[in-house]
Amino acid sequence: MNTRASITRTGAQRVRAGLFGIGLDTYWPQFKGLRRRLTGYQARIAAQLREFGVELVDAGLVDSPVKARAAGSLFRREEVEIIFLYVSTYALSSTVLPVVQKVGVPVVVLNLQPVPQLDYERFNRLGDRGLMTGVWLEHCQACSAPEIACAFNRAGIAYHLVTGYLDEPAAWSEIRDWVDAARVAAGMRVNRVGVLGHYYCGMLDVYSDMTQQSAVFGNHFELLEMCQLHKLREAVTAQQLRRKLQQFRREFNVSRECAPAELTRAARTSCALDALAAKHDLGSLAYYYESEDGYAYRDIVTSVIAGNTLLTGHHVPVAGECEIKNVQAMKIMDLFGTGGSFSEFYLADFKEDLVFLGHDGPAHFAIAQGRVGLVPLPVYHGKPGLGLSIQMTVKHGPVTLLSVVESAGGKVSLLTAEGESVPGPVLQIGNTNSRYRFAIGAKAFMNQWSKAGPAHHCAIGVGHIASKIEKLGHLLGIETLRVG
């Protein structure tokens, strides 16, 4: 089973990372060729990091406190997001601490041997103990791991260890997760979140602390006006309408039940939403509004679903009911390349041990099982008016759920779980809804997830990426809880 499914992304955030190796300058005149072999291993690591899409700042092999200070200055000047520290052989912790202290960014220690196992017989046949010691030093990466960890612990520096060997797939999978997590952290920091309208009145769990969200993720919140959206909608041209209707046909399976007037109404609003997102350089949007019958804003808010779904599928996730925390979760999933569809608990199937999750409003059509349906609804349940909506099921296979949680005292954390979207009948009610199976069973999953304290919304993405989300939590300095 492919647990690393992803969707195509455009304009993905690149991450600038620092790399330095460590060694002991005393060794170089003692053991001929040792430094050359160690820098060769570091070059292999650098090449792999670049293959992951990293914009790499390589400080080379640091083997003295003087070089450590220079490396720290280089990384700080280049504004790296994360540092990879390669333990090439034994090295003094005094060559490590100055680098990390000066830069002040997360550090991942690569405790990677050249090979999974030393050829003991060949090694012992070398005969020359000096030569043998040089070969041993080429493979003694583990020697420095406790010393580095001790220095970091005593200095109060957060760090992470990856232990293995150079060609080990599991080690590189873990390193790739760190790269992806750093890329998402960087993407969240530059994200501009639009907030349009107000909360759905009475949803106490949905209310969010934007200051605390910005403190954790670094993003900007742009508070938007309905009158501006109305102005942009009034300015939509006939040509823009034609193009948008063509896009509807291209990206949705438009039901024959959709009245031409409703399609035109939704297309006009979609054009205005595109213009609003472009005008404010939005990377995500949370919205809700009701207005009154007969007013222009009611016409807008009852025709937003198609346009918001298009924005979501094109990397501007949109969350209804003004669920700011959840649009943060949706953006995280989208930056990971796994989707991030707006969801809530819908139904339990205790005979098949399944949980249905879905939602009305915008969906992430890029992770749909088949084409997404655009259908008419005679009523928006719990909301005013009627109009077009989305019928969609999330792609069958592994999935990950994510919620950004705010708890007592303003603490922000991440809540995640891995499951599977499975085939079978769904509710044909003009909403996104899918059937999910969890290893711990439907009852235990619903109990554990709910008691963790999230709002009733979550974001769903394809693939199993809980390990990446946990690493993102580490990089942000917040707790991550995995259910199941």
Give residue-wise pLDDT tens across range 424-463: 999 999 999 999 999 999 999 999 999 999 999 999 999 9
d(CA 418, CA 27): 48
* 3 pLDDT above the threshold of 80: no
* 47 pLDDT above the threshold of 50: yes
pLDDT for 312 equals 97
CA neighbours closer than 13 Å in the CB half-sphere of residue 194: 29
Can you say how many angstroms the Cα of residue 50 is from the centroid of all Cα atoms in its chain? 20
Nearest to 391 by CA among 266, 254, 245: 254
Instruction: Starting at the earlier edge strand, list the strands of the sheet with 387-391.
Output: 253-254, 373-377, 387-391
Q: Under a CB-based contact definition with an 8 Å cutoff, are residues 449 and 309 in contact? A: no
Q: Which residues partner with 224 through β-bridges?
A: 196
Q: Under a CB-based contact definition with an 8 Å cutoff, are residues 484 and 442 in contact? A: no
d(CA 153, CA 155): 5
pLDDT for 127 equals 87
Which two three-digit tokens encode residue 283?
A: 């990377």
Listed by start position, the domains of the chain span: 16-188, 191-483
With cut-offs at 50, 70 and 90, classify the pLDDT of residue 353.
very high
d(CA 404, CA 193): 15
With cut-offs at 50, 70 and 90, classify the pLDDT of residue 396.
very high
Give residue-wise pLDDT tens across range 399-429: 999 999 999 989 999 999 999 999 999 999 9
d(CA 319, CA 313): 12
Give residue-wise pLDDT tens across range 121-156: 999 999 899 999 999 999 999 999 999 999 999 999
* 300 pLDDT above the threshold of 60: yes
d(CA 442, CA 355): 6
d(CA 234, CA 238): 11
| Pairing assessment for the beta strands 82-87 and 107-113 based on DSSP bridges | parallel
With cut-offs at 50, 70 and 90, classify the pLDDT of residue 9.
very low
Q: Under a CB-based contact definition with an 8 Å cutoff, are residues 45 and 110 in contact? A: yes
* 11 pLDDT above the threshold of 80: no
Q: Which CATH architecture has domain 191-483?
A: Alpha-Beta Barrel (3.20)
d(CA 315, CA 6): 13
Q: Is 151 left (phi over 0), alpha (psi -120 to 50) or beta?
A: alpha
pLDDT for 12 equals 59
- Apex 429 CA angle, 424 and 311, nearest 5: 95
d(CA 482, CA 467): 9
CATH of the structural domain 16-188, one choice from 3.40.50.1820, 3.40.640.10, 3.20.20.10, 3.40.50.10940:
3.40.50.10940
Which two three-digit tokens encode residue 239?
A: 């040509």
